[in-house]
Structure 1
Amino acid sequence: MSTRRWPFDPALTRRDHGFFGPDSPSWKVWTHPTALIGFQRAVTLEHFDPMLTAAVADADGIYTDPRGRLDGTLSYFLVVAVGDSRTAVETSELLMRVHARATGIEPISGKRYGANNPDSQLWIHVTGWHSVLKAYEMFGPGPLSPADEDRYWAECVVAAELQTCSPADVPASRQAVREYFERVRPRLCTSERAQRGMHYLLRTEGGRGRWPLWATSRMLAPATIATLPKWMRVLGDFDQPAALDRAVVPAARAVVRATRSPAAMQAVLGPTLPVTRSVLRWHFANPVAEIPETVTPAEARERLRSA
């Protein structure tokens, strides 16, 4: 990134309101503490795509540097949702360059994978935006209003423009998301490497510098699993009793209420996901932009090229 380095400095101003703006449901959902549960859900579900499983397993990053890999991924989603437009575009272009190097052979099918493959990118995108909303509904304020939900899915389509998937392929409603999951279900599967990754993300191993992530992942896992349909739990071999599902919902809601303030959220994120914390801190410190407008990703790219 040429003009702004992570971690974000709260003293840096917000150039504009990014792609969605302060009144958007995306700002509300992605900056809520329930996003942490939704994120664990999303990165677990990524492993149902065999090409993504191969990319993650070959890179080995979630095992050698789990905090760094998870922190980078969540902070990317957060920057796209609430960052100013230039920072979001710079961050997405950096991510695409990193992903371009992640290629190889998926060992079961023998097919070549690439982390920037549009189908895999679409799976990452949809599971991310869907999972964060699902956690918001179950453990946070509840469902969005019909108007806000329509807008949330429209904003999900806009955010997809920063990845390699075509916005035309992105489901733009709750029903379209259901249809997408049904359409891709036949190609979803697990393997020994996929289950290892899913179980590791739900309950990350401890070790030097990993104890905060070890503790956080285990506290989140029962709530994360409670959001998932039975067939996914069985396929991933991480099912849990129905009694635990029922018990975890009020407990998770209580924890979410206790961590709702910006200060509490940052305290939780600090030792676990420091880059994400710095983005969130910058966001709360800069509610108003130098130019209080929203732009499209295409406009943001054009401004960056002409700068």
Structure 2
Amino acid sequence: MAEAPRHTTVLLDEAVDALLADVDGWSNGLWVDATFGRGGHSRRILARIPPGARLLAFDKDPEAIQEATRIDDARFSIRHAGFSELADLPPQSAAGVLLDLGVSSPQIDSPERGFSFRFDGPLDMRMDTTRGQSVAEWLADAPVDKIAEVIREYGEERFAGPIAKAIVAWRQERGPLGSTAELADLVAGAVKTREAGQNPATRTFQAFRIFINAELEELQQALEASLSVLAPGGRLVVISFHSLEDRITKQFMALHSKEVFDRRAPFAAPRAMKLEVLARVRPGAAEVAANPRARSAIMRVARRTEA
């Protein structure tokens, strides 16, 4: 039997250090690992939080939920849900929230999940395989303009139009695309030039994964929810792996780290800022050398203010 793909948690020490910087002041605190993945961050958090504290995790992936059953710690619980459901937690109930937005190695390296063009498998890409449309199902009848829009906006792909037209032409001639190999070959034929060292299908696969899982919309919802959920002094830590995620996170933190003046009431006191931006962290050279998937990671850290 082949060995299951292993996952190396990116920025493990840096993220947990940032999240738990004020851990001594939260003897009964609640921390949230909003993207459990394969549990690297959660296990390290549990090793460091006080005996009376708790850790709540979220994940949409049934395989992640199964992995979480291996954690034997009464302080730990997990919900089979996306991290946008942070909004269901009571206001000011959390001492810290961690969002690791990366796709785990077992997801990428499992052909049956359909995330990677490196393996031939069903064209799925759903984080939660128990619900929703797969990429193959969506592409079976999506209009060419919508396909091009998704590839352009979520993949930042300049050949979005030719790729979308090639997908529609394929399904008209041969029926719907069904496998990752078919999609990768089709994209390679439609993309005329590509950056050195990058597979022509990289941006298209990213775009379809983000779209089919509504990743950016869910990130925005989770960030907004964090303002309500975090207690004053609580930490927000977000690890992004591509520019779209990082841009949303950066703009969110910047927006809420400023005093807001109401132009309709120029003499009124400004609305106080809600976040204090603390850090932006990239993986070191040693981590990138040991785990090339870490090279695009950016971690941003903020603290909920007293307001």
Which structure would you say has the larger Rg?
2
If asked which structure has higher relative contact order (CA below 8 Å, sep 6+), I would say 1
Greater per-residue helix proportion: 1
TM-score for the superposition, normalised by structure 1: 0.25
